[in-house]
Structure 1
Amino acid sequence: MTTLRRMSEEEFVQYIDFSIAAYAKEKVAAGNWTEEEALEKAKTTHAELLPEGKDTDDHFLYTILNEKGENVGCLWICKQSPDKAFIYDIRVWNDRQGQGHGKNAMRLAEEEASKIGVQKIGLHVFGHNTVARKLYENLSYKTTNVVMEKDIQPRHNEE
């Protein structure tokens, strides 16, 4: 059975470095940032969101544990308003994927959000992450926005 435990300081230190690098990589893959700027922008974003680290008000960071109590991933929830929470990150480590931990952690995230008094929970998923998108759809998450882009070739004026 998958469970959640609030992150320890040591787990947070490991998590934040990993999270920054992973976020930078995802933003590059999505075409939002260049490789050259991605790491610095990701560091800035995380510093703005978590100025007090894991003890930042209204941010809840968890370690996802399997039935043996082993760390299989992480979850970051933020209470954005009196009625809405937002999942900034949910991640199951690569070697632990496909075992139901993500689905179970999402259900536990909803329980935790309910405990902090919200009636709604949201998240962002990168368009290229089809596995995660399918999971969220199966858990009854609804698409609220879609942003699309296309690369085009510049036209040269022919005079």
Structure 2
Amino acid sequence: MTMRLDEMNSDEFQAFLSFAIKHFADEQIKCGNWKPEEGISKATEEYEKLLPEGKNTENNHLFTIRDENQEVGMIWLAKVTDEKGFIYSINIWEGNQGKGYGKKAMQEIEVLAKEFGLKNIGLHVFAHNQLARDLYEKLGYIEKNIKMEKSL
């Protein structure tokens, strides 16, 4: 595996944005946070707040994950403060999952975060995404907050 992180170009960003909005909406609906009819509009609104200047939004670093010349996924790191970063998104595309790309991308983003002067990185993971939770725990991420809810 010759994996690397390349800064997203404009076409890659547009493809990511389309995927990310739908994916985020689907995850929020699956958790019961949003109703299906409001998912896309709420997700679009959220992304417009987070990336008002698109891929050129200050303190946001969006990367395409490549193995050789093949695009295998993407990762987005934001610099929240001078010392704290946040991974808003990491996705390994279908057909490339389970091959170690996610783990390697997380390790590479940590190297870049240190180069940006960051001292720690946070992330959010949906409770139902056990595969991702297991990966993050293996990489040394710990749970800081747990939100629980019961439907009546």
Does TM, scored on the shorter chain, surpass 0.5?
A: yes
Q: What is the identity, as a one-letter code, of the residue corresponding to 2:74?
A: C
Aligned to 1:130: 130
2:110 aligned with 1:104, yes or no?
no
In structure 1, the residue matched to 2:23 is 22
Q: 1:144 and 1:30 mapped to 2: Cα distance?
A: 20
> What are the residue-to-residue correspondences of 1:1-159 with 2, within 5 Å?
1-66=2-67, 68-152=68-152
Give SS of 2:18's match.
helix
Q: CA RMSD in A?
A: 0.6
Q: Deviations over 1:31-85 (max 9, x none)?
A: 111111110000000001101000000000000011x221000001000001100
- Identical columns (%): 42
Report the TM-score, using the length of structure 1 for normalisation: 0.93
Runs (4+) off by over 6 Å: none
Amino acid at match of 2:93: W
Amino acid at match of 1:63: T
- Using the TM superposition, give the Cα deviation of residue 19 of structure 1 relative to its aligned residue in structure 2, in angstroms: 0.5
Structure 1's unaligned 5+ residue stretches are 153-159
Give the structure with higher Rg (CA): 1
Return the TM-score normalized by structure 2. Answer: 0.98
Question: Which blocks of at least 5 consecutive residues in structure 2 are unaligned?
Answer: none
1:6-38 CA deviation, whole Å, 9 max, x = no partner?
A: 000010011101100000001111111111111
In 2, the alpha carbon distance for the partners of 1:112 and 1:22 equals: 26
Q: Cα offset for 1:87?
A: 0.1
User: 2:33, 2:120 → 1: CA distance?
Assistant: 27
Letter aligned with residue 54 of structure 1: K
